[in-house]
Structures are given as structure tokens and as C-alpha cells.
Amino acid sequence: MTAPRNGSSTGLPNPYPVELTPPDITPYAKGTGSIPYIWTFDSGLPGPHVALTAIVHGNEPCGALTLDWLMKRDTRPIVGKLSFAFMNVAAHEAFDPDLPDASRWIDEDFNRLWAKETLDDPDRPMTEELRRAREVRPWLDSVDLLLDIHSMQNKNAALTIAGLLPKGRDLARSVGYPPLVINDQGHAEGLRMRDYGGFGDPTSARNAMLVECGQHWEKSAEGAAMETAIRFLRATGAVAEDFGADWMATRPAPDAMQFFQVSRAVTIETDEFRFSQDWKGLEALPEGTLIGLDGTTEIRAPHPVTVLIMPSRRLWRGKTAVRLAEPVAG
């Protein structure tokens, strides 16, 4: 499959109804400091700097809706600092419900730019995403505990991407939702924000989790984002233990937690990648099952139980087609 010119749209018909309306975030443009769309509140008491980020991708409105709700409730930390950050604002503003996938980014994927050598490269062509990443970087360097809110291409259960390190799994366990937790090594295309700096350093106390809240535009993604945010704020101690109790009273108890370890992120190497079936994600396949073909190279399930994590519809050279995982003890 050849990538569309702007590198953003899938080039495929949208199979899902658009049930979410992205919020107007222009009232948050000023921010509390020198960086637009980032709001930081200081309790005046010792404690970590806790942050929630949304719209790293402009076609993922559930995070923006969650931050809008938190801001309208005048949510403030009881210890440390608390930040709410709207990231790829230009892509969010470009959202079109008739072409809802076309605003994932403006020029390139904001969530593949977070390697130091990428951010510091003076010869790298300037894009809207690189400009914004460099703008928000000094703020991100001050964050101790990060929740980065995302959503998925296909309808599926919400899950946490906990990164490569055990500390990511520990943070996900302390939050307790979503019940599915994935440890993985990221993407060959570039480093994610959740793995940036101390978040990806085993010797650092800084930690991050990335939540995938379900299909981008389904109503339930907003609920998953809201519950994750409330539980994260409680778990980090940024708010009281009963924060959001009125909203949480409407939510069912979560299932028992399950943990998965990704052994391989399948990076597409040809322009002729195709899946053997229309995989949606979380299929549990026996070892040897044909998953797809990259040109003439077969991709087969490597584990006795191989779980497919977020198979992509953007089957372009250099992108991650799917992640292959196996169940592990928590």
C-alpha cells in the first residue's frame, strides 16, 4: 500500500461512525506559562509533577474531551504539581468528521520524534510536529509521572502500553485500569513520547503510561479515557482518593488485570504487505499461524499463544503492521 501524500490518511473508507465531537480547545490557548495549551498548577507542597497529555494525534478526541472535563472542574493538585497539556493542536484543529483519519498529524507522526538525536538534529527538515515537540520539550523534561491518552484504529478493548521496563508495568498495576497491560519496545520508526528521557531510563524514578482507549471515534473511548485519568490522578496522589467519585459511580468494576509481553513489532519492509485475515486485535493465535505476508516473507505467530496487538490499517513501508505478544505473569 502506498502512503497518501500527506502521510496521514489511511486512504481507506472509514468503517466506523463518528460518535465523538472534538471539544473547542481555543479557551486553553494561553496556558499558564510560556508554552501555549499547557496548564500547570502548583499545590505549594512537595510532591511529583504529574501530567496528562492529549491529542498527540489529532484524530484522537477522547483525550481532549477528558482534559476539557478536568479543566472545567477546576481540578487542582493536593501535593506537587499537576499539568494538562494539549499537544498536537494544529492536527486537532484540522479534524474533519467526514475525513476523520486525515488529521492524525499535519506533516509527520508527533509520537515518533522523541529520540534526543531527532529533537537535536539541526539538519532535520522543520515540520509542524517537530516545531511543537521542541516547544513542549522543556516542560516535558520537568514531568515525573505522565499519562498520555490515545485511541485505536479498530474497535477493541482499552489497554495500557507500558513500555519496555518493569516500572511501566508497576505504574499500570497501581492505576488498575485498563485491565490489559502491554510491555513493548516501541516502533522502529522513532521513539514515542512515553519513552522519552527518564521515562525510558531504568535508573530514573520518572515513569509514564500510554493508554489506548478503544476506537478513535466511538463513545466508549471517552469513558475509558475518563476512567483512566481519574484512576491515574488518584494513584499518583495528585488528587484525593475520592476524586471523581460521582462520575466513577456510573462505571462497572474492571476485570482482573492481564499482562502481555511483546516479542516483536513487525516493521513493514515492502510496499506489498498484506494480512492473511482482517485482524482487529487481541486475537490469540496458535504458534505457526500465518499472520501476513511482507512481499514474499511470511509473518507467523512465534509463541504457543500469540496475541495480536493493534494491527494497523496503515500498511506502509517503515510503519509497524502489528505487535506480536504472549501472555505473562503480572
| DSSP notation for 88-127 | -HHHHHT--TTSTTTTS-SSS-GGG--SHHHHT-TTSPP-
Give the model's pLDDT for residue 9: 57
Q: Does the predicted model carry a pTM greater than 0.85?
A: yes
Average pLDDT, the chain: 95
How far is Cα 63 from Cα 301, in angstroms, rounded to an integer?
A: 33
Is the model's pLDDT at 160 over the cut of 90? yes
Take residue 46 and report the three cell numbers written for it: 512537595
Q: Which fold has domain 26-256?
A: Aminopeptidase (3.40.630)
Closest CA to 173 of 286, 305, 330: 330
Dist CA 168 CA 127 (whole Å): 30
Domain limits, the chain? 26-256, 266-328
pLDDT for 2 beyond 60: no
Tell me how far apart the alpha carbons of residues 127 and 106 are, in angstroms, rounded to a whole number.
8
Strand runs labelled E in the chain: 38-42, 49-54, 81-86, 145-152, 159-161, 180-183, 207-215, 258-267, 273-275, 284-286, 290-294, 297-300, 305-309, 320-328
pLDDT value, residue 10: 59
Q: What is the pLDDT of residues 75-120, one digit of tens each?
A: 999 999 999 999 999 999 999 999 998 899 999 999 999 999 999 9
Q: What is the pLDDT of residue 188?
A: 85
Q: Tens digit of pLDDT for each residue in 178-206?
A: 999 999 988 888 999 999 999 999 999 99
Given a contact cutoff of 8 angstroms between Cβ atoms, the answer to whether 12 and 313 are in contact is yes
Which pLDDT score is estimated for 159?
A: 97
**Cβ within 8 Å of residue 320, ≥6 positions away:** 187, 188, 189, 265, 266, 267, 268, 312
Residue whose entry in the numeric block shows the C-alpha cell 492481564: 258
The mean pLDDT value for 231-255 works out to 97
Q: What is the structure's pLDDT at 314?
A: 87
pLDDT class of 330 with cuts at 50, 70, 90: confident
- Percent over 70 (pLDDT), the chain: 96
Q: In the prediction, which pLDDT does 8 show?
A: 55
**Arithmetic mean of pLDDT, 221-248:** 98
Strand, coil or helix: what is 264? strand
Answer for the pair 234, 243: CB distance below 8 angstroms, yes or no: yes
State yes or no: pLDDT of 7 exceeds 80. Answer: no
CA distance 184 to 141: 22
User: Any idea which of 59-73, 90-104, 112-126, 207-221 has the lowest mean pLDDT?
Assistant: 90-104
Q: Where does 266-328 sit in CATH, by number?
A: 2.40.50
Return d(Cα 117, Cα 193) in angstroms, integer. 14
**Alpha-carbon span 283 to 181, nearest angstrom:** 15
Average pLDDT over residues 245-256: 95
Q: What percent of the chain has pLDDT above 90?
A: 92
Query: Beta-carbon neighbour count of residue 48 at 10 Å?
Result: 19
Tell me, what amino acid is at 180? L
Mean pLDDT calculated for residue range 299-312 = 97
What phi and psi, each to the nearest 5 degrees, are found at residue 249?
-60, -20
pLDDT at 5 over 70: no
In the DSSP assignment, the letter for residue 227 is H
Peptide bond preceding 179: is omega within 30 degrees of 0, i.e. cis? no
d(CA 190, CA 129): 13
